[in-house]
Amino acid sequence: MSLRIIFMGTPEFSVPTLSALTEAGHRIVAVYTQPPRPGGRRGLDLKKSPVHQAAELLGVPVLTPPNFKNAADRQTFRDFNADVAVVVAYGLLLPEEILSGTRYGCYNGHASLLPRWRGAAPIQRAIMAGDHETGMMVMKMDKGLDTGPVALSKPVAIDETMTAGELHDKLMWVGAALMKEAMDKLEAGDLPLTPQPEEGPVYAAKITKDETRIDFSKPARDVHNHIRGLSPFPGAWFELEIAGRPERIKVLGSEIAEGTASHGIVLDDALTIACGEGAVRPTSLQRAGGKVLATAEFLRGTPIAAGTRIA
């Protein structure tokens, strides 16, 4: 026996779960993903999502409705006669008609320990907040935003140097194994559901461009968490004048350092930068359109003298 599953996901984060369910012997009757987006150097080519590409390799039908406002799209979903829908970073809010459109409903793989960090950016927000732990949860979806009862969870530690990219890669494999376990238990009629606590929800709002600039007036620990929480994408940055022109420099890694001065002042030839409290030292940097470089290598091509003020 195996479950008839509709899989709904879009980015690379979702692909291991799709693979795990397939390898476990469940039948993926359809895959829903975001429509192809403009790509290529000039944005002229339509690029299929990682899930779309993985589904085609598996020979699974792929559907890319922009939403489920069309009654025909909702009926198509129901017509697959699936046992369950598995949702991992799909990118669309699902109406109640879809949530109830399979035998067992929809189960979501969410990258936090709910109710902390409900919403769009739980990985980045956990690191930016300085959390020491997060995890993956399998939750039965309801009409709220990540408010449904939890089936399974797996904590994951966040060390003090881990970036959002590193945590992303760890959680996507933890999530794949956890969803496989959940679907096996669902098939056996042994999947528990526990309501989330009503107290203490925290929301992980989408990262906006206006919060990516580094604020060196904050304590060094907060600056360090900000940098690693936005690495590698979209990247925290500061502005520096190079050859008489202001240029954005992305900081993709950092470490806590010692030193005191007015915030934003470069303290030494290793690019230690004073913060509102303490100092940070970038460990990897990137100029616009350039390669990611270790700080020592970056400074050989773009020297930044002690005493320079960084904005």
How many Cα neighbours within 13 Å face the side chain of 300?
A: 4
Question: 217 a known binding residue?
Answer: no
Rounded alpha-carbon distances, angstroms, from residue 104 to 60, 140, 145: 21, 9, 19
Indicate the helix (H) or strand (E) that contains 54: helix 50-58
The dihedrals phi and psi of 222, each to the nearest 5 degrees, come to: -65, -40
**Residue 153 marked in a binding site:** no
Query: d(Cα 127, Cα 132) in Å, to the nearest integer?
Result: 8
Phi, psi dihedral angles at 36 (to 5 degrees): -55, 140
Of 225, 71, 200, whose CA–CA distance to 147 is shortest?
Answer: 200
Containing 232, the helix (H) or strand (E) segment is: none
List helix spans (H) across 211-302. Answer: 220-229, 295-301
The DSSP line for 145-213 is SS-SPEEEEEEEE--TT--HHHHHHHHHHHHHHHHHHHHHHHHTT----BPPPSS--EEEPPP-GGG-B
The reply to whether 113 sits in an annotated binding site is: yes
SS3 of residue 214 by DSSP = coil
CA–CA distances in Å: residue 247 to residues 8, 212, 241, 242, 302: 40, 15, 6, 7, 12
Q: Is 191 annotated as a binding residue?
A: no
CB count in 10 Å sphere of residue 310: 19
Instruction: Give the integer Cα–Cα distance in Å for 272 and 264.
Output: 10
Widest pairwise Cα distance in the chain: 69
Q: Which residues are annotated as a binding site for (6S)-5,6,7,8-tetrahydrofolate?
A: 112-115
Q: Which residues are annotated as a binding site?
A: 112-115
